[in-house]
Chains A and B, each alone.
Chain A
């Protein structure tokens, strides 16, 4: 299921979700690359069954139903047609045992695994899958992530109880990866019949290795092992029921409290360890594991409807004034990585543009000079009596004060406007901002198309870019997709339609009792293989 960082903003209806997602993600913005995929493991001897894992989650999920727009931790309650191997990015069998994709990427046929049941006892059939897809479409704007994947859907056919054929009216190569995401998770018919609000409150029934036991909003989520689970995807570490009896997920938003609670053994695992607390956690004998979020890195999205930022040179100058290495060195730990493209290095289709994103204040100053912005008396540039003041709207301010300092050095005054989520949405929708600080996590290069094709986000337009984005969406050939994705990344970076800053990551800390704790491909924590010694 999703964590807050997993946002796949779509244009239009999904803007609100983009904003919400971006706000939450910044809280998670500690980072680190895929240094380790799990803790413990075979070295700790044979796995042990049973026990309750106590986990401190750093935010309060808005909705536990992954089909809806809300972010949530991966509870292991629902599963999707496919799964994505976190190490290779490959799409592997899950609820669907096999599938075929038509050459032009307009039609996908899935063959369901036999003998799969939901935790309410009902069986997984092609009819239920079709009901799910229709239900997701009916959710409309609420299911912004899922809705984006199904945008061009024309029909869902069920020729027999174990076969589903999904047809689109235009090439939709991203759909296969989309079927691995929690946004297209499959719920039971009874679960779908519940009102959306009830499902958000935890009344969801899926095929997964856990079931929701209780949910107290803003306080605690308890999930329990489901006996009889026997259809784990091949990317999982074992087969059969989950090893833990129970996972108690407490919501602890204060980072100092989380760290302190881990150190005093009130939790076995905590999420979002901050860089400044990492040394303490390590010194206390806890292991820290992290995984870089796939998708679009933490970026400044310029509002190109504003005259100042419509000028490419100004945007490029601002990108060159940012010292990404300094941000990492100052605010993070050495294992964290600066952005080297619009996409993070763990995203399929990523291409390294680190040289284009190097700090170059001299050229930034030259570009600003050439654009007519000359240094004023207080160091801030002016043109025609107007100061070069730009604002940025955001929910949580990680690294912005440092960027503010760096931009000040070349004469740009960056105003930080921290807003509540609802205000952020309103200001974003109204276009009342110069920069928006955001990211969009998804383990597929198509995330670029959902964000930048048509430029609903930024208001710019660029034909070669649109062509490249549509190109990667139209081919099932990975080489073609990667080539077009690379072209798109290069165009976005060289024209600074997106000013990448840092790769975000999920960083968790666990006690030495915890073994085989893994990340999913979307960098959410997976409890299925975990066990306690």
Chain B
């Protein structure tokens, strides 16, 4: 696996000031080096490591050739991960340049060609209005992925703020914030998201915000735990001793070093979030017709479950494949960080 090759040339516990795990988002073959450990249980050890090295960066780039080679070898040895990366790559490409993948109009159908089974002309078949389902899948990718990213960003940012405030200030603010988070955790996620989206209105971005808000609690908890650990370690105390003020310590020392597990959690969460966004879209809270969106495509195919199996099968399989792939990749990042 790619991760193990990294270990040869980079101290996995190096570079605590660089939130390297952000690379999890870009999903390259080189996973983030160090912080993909959501448990954070070894924070103390990490702290002692980190004491000595804020600011140190590995000499990346010097050995890029062998690294890529090693990564490729690792991928060949792990077809599951390679397949997952391929799936995500293709779907990202759909989102960025849909025109390269489908030349058919996703919005205007030819009614004479309605409900046609998959064929070489219509790869995924056509829907009840004669629109090419593959074209709608390709053009729907951008919206579905955008919603997922927005939801994760909302969750991570809001969770980071809440967790940092709670963990750094402590006292009654900590108690109050974390009890609110406990309440959020007590309500089933999809139900709460439904309530939120009902309150703020329909639309894909609203759905994304709702899903993000619902996921805040777990991020806040992880962030708080990290902040509690990091604020006690030597280099933070050193900075404080050196005269740095609260905000500066927080921004330059505490947050960067506590953010790693949060980002690892985000990587793991992408799949779940995509599933929740699609579910809400399926329930009709998402895209306005005729805009294609994966969850909405499943919903519009549902009445034709018997007459046209492809209308639900292909969007469903695509969502499933993307969710499984993101999970596989996130797991690779996680095991990587354990090595």
State the A residues within 8 Å of B (CB): 255-256, 259, 274, 276-277, 279-280, 326, 329-331, 397, 400-402, 404-405, 408-409, 415-418
Q: Are A256 and B305 in contact (CB under 8 A)?
A: yes
Contact residues in A for B108 (Cβ distance below 8 Å):
405, 408-409
Closest chain B residue, CB of each to CB of A277: B306
**Cβ 8 A contact of B114, one of A330, A397, A409:** A330
Q: Which of B284-310 contact A (CB under 8 A)?
A: 284, 288-290, 302-308
The 7 A-B pairs with the shortest beta carbon distances in the complex, nearest first, are A330-B111, A276-B307, A416-B289, A401-B289, A256-B305, A276-B304, A401-B290
Instruction: Provide a sorted-by-A list of 11 A–B residue pairs whose CB atoms are within 8 angstroms.
Output: A276-B128, A276-B308, A277-B303, A279-B307, A326-B111, A329-B111, A330-B111, A401-B129, A402-B111, A405-B107, A417-B288
Taken together as a complex, chains A and B put the C-alpha atoms of A329 and B110 apart, in Å, by: 12
Closest chain A residue, CB of each to CB of B202: A418
Contact residues in B for A279 (Cβ distance below 8 Å):
307
Is B109 engaged at the interface, CB distance under 8 Å to the other chain? Answer: yes
Is B130 engaged at the interface, CB distance under 8 Å to the other chain? Answer: yes
Q: Are A256 and B302 in contact (CB under 8 A)?
A: yes
Q: In the complex, given contacts A255-B303, A276-B303, what are 12 additional A-B residue pairs having Cβ atoms less than 8 angstroms apart?
A: A256-B305, A256-B306, A276-B128, A329-B111, A330-B111, A400-B289, A401-B290, A402-B129, A404-B289, A405-B129, A415-B288, A418-B202
Contact residues in B for A331 (Cβ distance below 8 Å):
128
B261 to chain A, nearest CB (A): 41
Taken together as a complex, chains A and B put the C-alpha atoms of A401 and B114 apart, in Å, by: 13
**Cβ 8 A contact of A280, one of B128, B284, B289, B307:** B307
Contact residues in B for A418 (Cβ distance below 8 Å):
202, 284, 288-289
Q: Are A259 and B111 in contact (CB under 8 A)?
A: no
Contact residues in A for B305 (Cβ distance below 8 Å):
256
B258 to chain A, nearest CB (A): 43
B207 to chain A, nearest CB (A): 14
Q: Are B306 and A259 in contact (CB under 8 A)?
A: yes
Taken together as a complex, chains A and B put the C-alpha atoms of A326 and B109 apart, in Å, by: 12
Closest chain A residue, CB of each to CB of B306: A280
Taken together as a complex, chains A and B put the C-alpha atoms of A418 and B290 apart, in Å, by: 12
A200 to chain B, nearest CB (A): 25
Closest chain A residue, CB of each to CB of B114: A330
Taken together as a complex, chains A and B put the C-alpha atoms of A276 and B129 apart, in Å, by: 13
Taken together as a complex, chains A and B put the C-alpha atoms of A235 and B238 apart, in Å, by: 96
Taken together as a complex, chains A and B put the C-alpha atoms of A412 and B111 apart, in Å, by: 19
Q: Are A405 and B109 in contact (CB under 8 A)?
A: yes
A52 to chain B, nearest CB (A): 28
**Cβ 8 A contact of B128, one of A330, A409, A417:** A330
B202 to chain A, nearest CB (A): 8
Which of A255, A274, A276, A404 gathers most chain B CB within 10 Å? Answer: A276
A162 to chain B, nearest CB (A): 52
Which of A259, A402, A408 gathers most chain B CB within 10 Å? Answer: A402
Contact residues in A for B306 (Cβ distance below 8 Å):
256, 259, 276-277, 280
Q: Are A256 and B303 in contact (CB under 8 A)?
A: yes
Contact residues in B for A402 (Cβ distance below 8 Å):
111, 129
Taken together as a complex, chains A and B put the C-alpha atoms of A439 and B306 apart, in Å, by: 30
Taken together as a complex, chains A and B put the C-alpha atoms of A259 and B305 apart, in Å, by: 11
Taken together as a complex, chains A and B put the C-alpha atoms of A73 and B76 apart, in Å, by: 64
Known: A402-B111, A416-B289. A274 touches B128 (CB 8 A): no
Closest chain B residue, CB of each to CB of A415: B288
Taken together as a complex, chains A and B put the C-alpha atoms of A416 and B114 apart, in Å, by: 21
Taken together as a complex, chains A and B put the C-alpha atoms of A68 and B290 apart, in Å, by: 37
Taken together as a complex, chains A and B put the C-alpha atoms of A274 and B290 apart, in Å, by: 21
Closest chain B residue, CB of each to CB of A331: B128
Contact residues in B for A256 (Cβ distance below 8 Å):
302-303, 305-306
Q: Are A330 and B288 in contact (CB under 8 A)?
A: no
Contact residues in B for A408 (Cβ distance below 8 Å):
107-108
Closest chain A residue, CB of each to CB of B127: A401
Contact residues in B for A401 (Cβ distance below 8 Å):
129, 289-290
Closest chain A residue, CB of each to CB of B109: A405
Taken together as a complex, chains A and B put the C-alpha atoms of A397 and B307 apart, in Å, by: 20
B326 to chain A, nearest CB (A): 30
Q: Which of B99-117 contact A (CB under 8 A)?
A: 107-109, 111, 114
**Cβ 8 A contact of A277, one of B128, B288, B307:** B307
Taken together as a complex, chains A and B put the C-alpha atoms of A418 and B284 apart, in Å, by: 9
**Cβ 8 A contact of B290, one of A259, A329, A330, A404:** A404
Closest chain A residue, CB of each to CB of B201: A423
**Cβ 8 A contact of A330, one of B129, B307, B308:** B129
Closest chain A residue, CB of each to CB of B288: A416
A12 to chain B, nearest CB (A): 29
Q: Which of B119-174 contact A (CB under 8 A)?
A: 128-130
B185 to chain A, nearest CB (A): 29
A256 to chain B, nearest CB (A): 5
Which of B107, B202, B288, B290 gathers most chain A CB within 10 Å? Answer: B290
Contact residues in A for B308 (Cβ distance below 8 Å):
276
B119 to chain A, nearest CB (A): 19
Contact residues in B for A417 (Cβ distance below 8 Å):
288
B297 to chain A, nearest CB (A): 13
Contact residues in B for A329 (Cβ distance below 8 Å):
111
Contact residues in B for A415 (Cβ distance below 8 Å):
288
Q: Are B289 and A330 in contact (CB under 8 A)?
A: no
B200 to chain A, nearest CB (A): 14
Contact residues in B for A274 (Cβ distance below 8 Å):
303
Closest chain A residue, CB of each to CB of B108: A405
Taken together as a complex, chains A and B put the C-alpha atoms of A402 and B305 apart, in Å, by: 20
Taken together as a complex, chains A and B put the C-alpha atoms of A409 and B110 apart, in Å, by: 12
Closest chain B residue, CB of each to CB of A418: B284
A300 to chain B, nearest CB (A): 16
B105 to chain A, nearest CB (A): 10
Taken together as a complex, chains A and B put the C-alpha atoms of A416 and B289 apart, in Å, by: 7
Taken together as a complex, chains A and B put the C-alpha atoms of A321 and B278 apart, in Å, by: 34
Contact residues in B for A409 (Cβ distance below 8 Å):
108
Taken together as a complex, chains A and B put the C-alpha atoms of A331 and B129 apart, in Å, by: 8
Which of B108, B111, B114 gathers most chain A CB within 10 Å? Answer: B111
Q: Which of B305-319 contact A (CB under 8 A)?
A: 305-308
B39 to chain A, nearest CB (A): 42
Taken together as a complex, chains A and B put the C-alpha atoms of A255 and B305 apart, in Å, by: 10
Taken together as a complex, chains A and B put the C-alpha atoms of A259 and B129 apart, in Å, by: 22
Q: Are B289 and A397 in contact (CB under 8 A)?
A: yes
Taken together as a complex, chains A and B put the C-alpha atoms of A329 and B128 apart, in Å, by: 11
Closest chain B residue, CB of each to CB of A379: B108
A107 to chain B, nearest CB (A): 51
Known: A259-B306, A280-B307. A330 touches B130 (CB 8 A): yes
A381 to chain B, nearest CB (A): 16
Taken together as a complex, chains A and B put the C-alpha atoms of A274 and B288 apart, in Å, by: 23
A54 to chain B, nearest CB (A): 21
B296 to chain A, nearest CB (A): 11
Contact residues in B for A280 (Cβ distance below 8 Å):
306-307
